[in-house]
Homo-oligomer: A and B are copies of this chain.
Amino acid sequence: MISFDSMKSMLDESYKHVACSSCKSRGHGLFNGISGAELDTLEAQRACNFYKKTQSLFVEGSTPRGVYCVNHGKVKVFKRGEEGKEQIIHIAKAGDLIGFRAMFSGELYKVAAESLEDSNICFIAKEDFLNMIEFNPALRNGIFKELSKELSDRADFITNMAQKSVRERLAFSLLILMDIYGEDPINLSREDLANFVGTATETLIRLLKEFKEDGCLEIEVRKLRVIDKTKLISLAGN
């Protein structure tokens, strides 16, 4: 049985057919430099789909066929380690593009993606996307920039993983998640959060309790709200 909210979203046509012109990806994202005619083309080519919570966009090892543009919602991008434990590499929010790495590598997906909440996500086929890039230098440079930024972020991620304690990593992760969730409370299962921080779920739960007792966090069942960012920054040791 699907939830009332899901139902509402599925029925609400505005969720399914969102104009590219009003998509957040044009505000801060890659499609920033998209002009009138190209915008129309994009609008015509992309397919807009609704994903309810925990639905899969693509799995590790499958063939990339295009890129995904998050119009509304959140998506986790993750890898599975040997024992099947997920490592969340990235959490995409509205306006973010997913899966364009695989457009260029010519390889199968090395990661998987799954919605973390009810989401509205558009799909742009590989050839259409590559075509746009071919003839739009601004977009091309945007992609270069985005790939570069992600590379840099991952270098940080690696360094944190290698050198910081789980406590520091959690503090750091919460700061990142604050940016992603904005005004909303951070809405992740304990397991997902643990898989983002890179620790055991039990350890994560204990640390969250500590942070709460330290007065920098409010905890509801699935919702975390940072109430002392300054303290969190000092806990992250940066």
Binding site for B on A (CB under 8 A): 79, 81-83, 85, 87, 89, 101-107, 110-111, 134, 137, 140-141, 143-145, 147-152, 154-164, 198-199, 237-238
Contacts and interface: CB of A to CB of B under 8 A. Distances in A.
Given A134-B137, A147-B147, A148-B147, A159 B101 contact: no
Contacts of A150: 151
A165 B164 CA distance: 15
Contacts of A143: 144
B105 A159 contact: no
A201 B83 CA distance: 28
Given A110-B155, A147-B147, 5 more contacts: A107-B152, A110-B152, A111-B152, A111-B155, A158-B158
Contacts of A154: 151, 154-155, 157-158
A225 to B, nearest CB: 26
Contacts of A134: 137
A67 to B, nearest CB: 12
Counting chain B CB atoms within 10 Å of each CB, the highest count among A111, A148, A151 belongs to A151
B104 A145 contact: yes
6 smallest beta-carbon distances between A and B, as pairs: A162-B198, A104-B144, A161-B161, A81-B163, A154-B154, A87-B159
A79 B156 contact: yes
A148 B157 CA distance: 17
Contact of A81 (B106, B140, B164): B164
A184 B196 CA distance: 38
Given A154-B154, A156-B79, A157-B158, A163 B85 contact: yes
A158 B159 contact: no
Contacts of A160: 81
B148 A104 contact: yes
Contacts of A155: 79, 89, 110-111, 154
B79 A159 contact: yes
Contacts of A79: 155-156, 158-159
Given A87-B158, A163-B87, A148 B101 contact: yes
Nearest to A142: B104
